């Protein structure tokens, strides 16, 4: 029988609604009590690593999850399921994807409706995630996000709706599979990225979003010795208002790595435009284009690369390989 490590970290999947209709954390995680859910089909090893709403999760907690999985692998587990709040689930999933040298299936799941709400999706998603983690077809696929009968890659999945159970979507590329009758069916696969098996995380890596009329103020606020790196969600294919350029140049002069992605929901950042603030000028100035990742994922990748000690060309090379 397959041994599946279930790591619980909190989120709506572990919460319930009180008499006023507010969704609140529980002292006892209801999902962690469901140890018999796959009785006779898998051996479930439960670890309630922490119990946090996912807006409270930081890269420090992400590293703790990674280390717990490393330990589980040394102990001979066959797969991992992580339950997590959905707000930052995509960031934790991608962090694990970039840092785990695992070949055992690692699946992250959560819920949009808490444990005692009508139509609660938590237990169903948990069961489906275990089924995917326990299936041989799921090996070597990188970290996956399984929700609502779909299998998405950690690299490209994103939360797209505040409340709908079909919130997790993969813009541009689509899911890699679906779950039917308790089994995963895969129809595409990503080429794995380089793994950075880090043991610490750097701080002061920021994410800024460009907007019509953006000025230099936010860039100026980050012009200090602490700033380790910045991801900018540029306009369209990756363009910025010209008034931001002198402040950006000052950040580059400090050797702060600047990464450019697109704020668009679909498509990839590209250096297409040769006007002031266009992608061609930004690339020439030294901004690194990161193609295919949204801002929050590119920030995680920059943070992981910096934590691994990558610099200059190595860092640029690492950040440029999201689409392969
Ligand atoms: N706010 C919740 C969280 O991320 C949302 C959820 O879990 O669905 O913790």
In which band, very low, low, confident or very high, does the pLDDT at 322 lie, cut at 50, 70 and 90?
Answer: low
The whole-number pLDDT of residue 295 equals 98
Q: Are strands 229-234 and 258-262 parallel, antiparallel or unpaired?
A: parallel
The whole-number pLDDT of residue 35 equals 78
In which band, very low, low, confident or very high, does the pLDDT at 323 lie, cut at 50, 70 and 90?
Answer: low
pLDDT digits (tens, 9 = 90+) for 251-308: 999 999 999 999 999 999 999 999 999 999 999 999 999 989 999 999 999 999 999 9
The whole-number pLDDT of residue 321 equals 73
Q: Span 2-16, mean pLDDT?
A: 97
In which band, very low, low, confident or very high, does the pLDDT at 37 lie, cut at 50, 70 and 90?
Answer: confident
Alpha-carbon separation of residue 246 from 261, 282, 289 (angstroms)? 19, 12, 19
Rounded CA-CA distance 114/14 in Å is 7
Q: Among 52, 54, 158, which is best to mutate for testing ligand 1, by the most ligand atoms less than 8 A from CB?
A: 54
pLDDT digits (tens, 9 = 90+) for 151-191: 999 999 999 999 999 999 999 899 999 999 999 999 998 88
The whole-number pLDDT of residue 163 equals 96
Residue 50 has pLDDT above 80, yes or no: yes
What is the share, in percent, of the chain residues with pLDDT greater than 90? 90
CA 107-111-115 angle, to 5 degrees, is 125
Q: Which two tokens stand for residue 82?
A: 């992580």
Average pLDDT for the chain = 95
Ligand 1 centroid, distance to 147 Cα (angstroms): 14
The least confident of 9-13, 83-87, 185-189 is: 185-189
DSSP 300: H
- Of the listed 83, 86, 128, 153, which one is catalytic? 86
The whole-number pLDDT of residue 324 equals 46
Ligand 1 centroid, distance to 148 Cα (angstroms): 15
Which numbered atom of ligand 1 lies nearest the CA of 53?
9
Q: Span 42-63, mean pLDDT?
A: 97
Complete DSSP assignment for 49-100: -----GGG--HHHHHHHHHHHHHHHHTT-SEEEEE--SSSHHHHHHHHHHH-
Q: Span 37-49, mean pLDDT?
A: 93
12 annotated active-site: no
Secondary structure percentages of the chain, helix, strand, coil, to 5: 30, 20, 50
Q: Span 223-238, mean pLDDT?
A: 97
């Amino acid at each position: 029988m397959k041994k599946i490590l279930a790591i619980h970290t909190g989120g709506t999947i572990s919460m319930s609604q009180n008499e006023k209709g507010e969704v609140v954390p529980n002292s006892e995680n209801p999902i962690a009590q469901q140890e018999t859910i796959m009785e006779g089909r898998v051996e479930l090893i439960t670890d309630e690593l922490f119990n946090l709403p996912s807006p409270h999760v930081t890269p420090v907690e992400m590293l703790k999850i990674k280390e717990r999985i490393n330990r589980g692998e040394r102990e001979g587990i066959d797969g991992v399921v992580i339950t997590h709040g959905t707000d930052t689930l995509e960031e934790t999933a991608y962090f694990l994807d970039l840092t785990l040298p695992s070949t055992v299936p690692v699946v992250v799941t959560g819920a949009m409706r808490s444990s005692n709400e009508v139509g609660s999706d938590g237990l169903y998603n948990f069961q489906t995630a275990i089924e995917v983690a326990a299936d041989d077809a799921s090996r070597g696929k990188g970290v996956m996000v399984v929700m609502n009968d779909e299998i998405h890659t950690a690299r490209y999945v994103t939360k797209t709706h505040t409340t709908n159970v079909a919130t997790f979507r993969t813009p541009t590329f689509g899911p890699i599979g679906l779950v039917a009758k308790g089994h995963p069916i895969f129809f595409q696969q990503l080429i794995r990225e380089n793994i950075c098996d880090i043991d610490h995380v750097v701080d002061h890596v920021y994410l800024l979003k460009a907007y019509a009329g953006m000025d230099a103020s936010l860039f100026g606020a980050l012009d200090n010795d602490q700033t380790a790196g910045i991801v900018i969600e540029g306009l369209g294919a990756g363009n910025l208002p010209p008034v931001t350029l002198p402040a950006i140049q000052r950040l580059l002069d400090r050797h702060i790595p600047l990464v450019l992605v697109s704020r668009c929901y679909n498509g990839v950042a590209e250096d297409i435009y040769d006007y002031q603030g266009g992608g061609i000028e930004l690339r020439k100035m030294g901004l690194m284009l990161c193609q295919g990742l949204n801002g929050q994922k590119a920030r995680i990748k920059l943070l992981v690369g910096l934590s691994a000690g990558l610099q200059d060309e190595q860092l640029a090379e690492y950040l440029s390989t999201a689409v392969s």
